[in-house]
Chains A and B, each alone.
Chain A
Amino acid sequence: MKALLATVRRDILLALRRKSEVLTAVFFFVIVTSLFPLGIGPEPVLLKKIAPGILWVAALLSTLLGLPRLFAADHLDGTLEQMALSPSPLGLLVAGKIVAHWLLCGLPLVLLAPVLGLQFDLDASALGILTLALLLGTPLLSLIGAIGAALTLGVRGGGVLLALLVLPLYIPALIFGAGAVEAHIAGLDVGGHLSLLAAMLALAAFFAPWATTAALRVALE
Chain B
Amino acid sequence: MGDHGRFKGCIGVSQSLIQWFRYASPQSFYPLAGRMIPWFWAAAAVFGVAGLWISFFVAPTDAQQGEGYRIIFVHVPASWMSMFIYLVMAFWAALGLALNTRVSGMMAQALAPTGALMAALSLWTGAFWGKPMWGAWWVWDARLTSELILFFLYLGFMALQAAIDDPRRADKAGAILALVGVVNIPIIYFSVKWWNTLHQGSTINLTKAPSMAQTMLWGMLLMALAFWMYSIAVALTRVRAIILERERHTEWVKHALE
Give the interface of A toward B (CB within 8 A). 147, 151-152, 155-158, 161, 164-165, 167-169, 171-172, 175-176, 179, 182-183, 196, 200, 207, 211, 214-215, 218-219, 221
Whether A169 lies near B184 (C-beta < 8 A) is yes
Q: Out of A151, A211, A214, which one reaches B160, CB within 8 Å?
A: A151
Task: Give the docked Cα–Cα distance between A218 and B93 (Å).
Answer: 14
Q: Provide the main secondary structure of the chain A interface.
A: helix
Whether B176 lies near A218 (C-beta < 8 A) is yes
Whether B160 lies near A152 (C-beta < 8 A) is yes
- The residue on A at minimum CB distance from B189 is A172
Whether A207 lies near B183 (C-beta < 8 A) is yes
Residues on the A chain within 8 Å of B181, using CB: 169
Residues on the A chain within 8 Å of B176, using CB: 147, 151, 211, 214-215, 218
Whether A152 lies near B187 (C-beta < 8 A) is no
Whether B163 lies near A157 (C-beta < 8 A) is yes
Indicate whether B87 reaches chain A with its CB closer than 8 angstroms: no
Residues on the B chain within 8 Å of A157, using CB: 163
Q: Provide the main secondary structure of the chain B interface.
A: helix
Q: Which of A158, A169, A219 counts the most B-chain CB atoms under 10 A from its CB? A: A169
Task: Give the docked Cα–Cα distance between A139 and B164 (Å).
Answer: 28
Scan residues 146-192 of chain B and give those whose CB is less than 8 A from a CB of chain A: 149, 152-153, 155-156, 159-160, 163-165, 168-169, 172-173, 176-177, 179-181, 183-184, 187-188, 191-192
Task: Give the docked Cα–Cα distance between A167 and B169 (Å).
Answer: 22
Residues on the A chain within 8 Å of B191, using CB: 171-172, 175-176, 196
Scan residues 111-149 of chain B and give those whose CB is less than 8 A from a CB of chain A: 149
Residues on the A chain within 8 Å of B180, using CB: 147, 169, 211
- For the side of the interface on B, what is the size category? 20 to 34
Give the interface of B toward A (CB within 8 A). 149, 152-153, 155-156, 159-160, 163-165, 168-169, 172-173, 176-177, 179-181, 183-184, 187-188, 191-192, 194-195, 198
- Sample 23 A-B pairs with CB under 8 A, ordered by A number: A152-B163, A155-B160, A155-B164, A156-B163, A156-B165, A161-B163, A164-B156, A164-B159, A165-B159, A165-B160, A167-B152, A168-B149, A168-B152, A168-B188, A172-B188, A172-B191, A176-B191, A179-B195, A200-B187, A211-B176, A211-B180, A218-B172, A219-B169
Inter-chain residue pair count (beta carbon < 8 A) = 72
Q: Out of B156, B159, B173, B194, which one reaches A219, CB within 8 Å?
A: B173
Whether B188 lies near A164 (C-beta < 8 A) is no
Q: Out of A151, A164, A168, A175, which one reaches B173, CB within 8 Å?
A: A151
How close is B141's CB to chain A, nearest CB, in angstroms?
A: 15
- The residue on B at minimum CB distance from A154 is B164
Q: Out of A165, A172, A179, which one reaches B177, CB within 8 Å?
A: A165
Q: Out of B149, B183, B198, which one reaches A179, CB within 8 Å?
A: B198
Whether A164 lies near B155 (C-beta < 8 A) is yes
Task: Give the docked Cα–Cα distance between A151 and B184 (Å).
Answer: 17
Residues on the B chain within 8 Å of A147, using CB: 176, 180
Q: Out of B159, B168, B172, B188, which one reaches A171, CB within 8 Å?
A: B188
Task: Give the docked Cα–Cα distance between A50 and B165 (Å).
Answer: 43
How close is A156's CB to chain B, nearest CB, in angstroms?
A: 5
Smallest CB-CB A-B distances: 8 pairs: A172-B191, A218-B172, A168-B152, A175-B195, A165-B156, A175-B191, A155-B163, A164-B156
- The residue on B at minimum CB distance from A212 is B176
Residues on the B chain within 8 Å of A207, using CB: 183
Residues on the A chain within 8 Å of B169, using CB: 218-219, 221
How close is B44's CB to chain A, nearest CB, in angstroms?
A: 30
How close is A202's CB to chain B, nearest CB, in angstroms?
A: 13
How close is B91's CB to chain A, nearest CB, in angstroms?
A: 17
Residues on the B chain within 8 Å of A152, using CB: 160, 163
Residues on the A chain within 8 Å of B188, using CB: 168-169, 171-172
Whether B192 lies near A175 (C-beta < 8 A) is yes
Task: Give the docked Cα–Cα distance between A165 and B157 (Å).
Answer: 8
Q: Out of B152, B165, B179, which one reaches A164, CB within 8 Å?
A: B152
How close is A46's CB to chain B, nearest CB, in angstroms?
A: 16
How close is B94's CB to chain A, nearest CB, in angstroms?
A: 12
Task: Give the docked Cα–Cα distance between A175 and B149 (Å).
Answer: 13
